[in-house]
Amino acid sequence: MSERSEIVFMQVRLLRFASEEWNMSVPKVAALFDCYHIFEFIEDCYGMFHMEGDRAVFDEVKTLLRNKGADVNAAIN
């Protein structure tokens, strides 16, 4: 599998992980990830992230969202 394919696979796994964790539809999570450039963040940090588990990477995503002022709790209510 090419690195690009691995990056996309990780982005999709984290998208689904967030959807389940936040009880939010996949399209809604995708819009949130797009708005806050999370897909790019995953791609940019893939060199480090590919050695981590999805839970650890998801924690980084949540931290970035908080730092950017995203209120995920408000988004899911």
Residue 77, domain member (yes or no) = no
Residue 74, domain member (yes or no) = no
pLDDT attached to residue 77:
39
Residue 72, domain member (yes or no) = no
Task: Write the burial class of residue 22 (CB in 10 Å: 0-12 exposed, 13-18 middle, 19+ buried).
Answer: middle
pLDDT attached to residue 76:
46
Number of domains in the chain: 1
Positive/negative CA dihedral, 34, 35, 36, 40? positive
Q: What is the mean pLDDT of each run of 10 residues along the chain (77 residues)?
A: 94 97 95 96 95 95 93 60
Residue 60, domain member (yes or no) = yes
pLDDT attached to residue 74:
61
Residue 11, domain member (yes or no) = yes
Instruction: Note down the domain range covering 60.
Output: 3-67
Residue 33, domain member (yes or no) = yes
Residue 17, domain member (yes or no) = yes
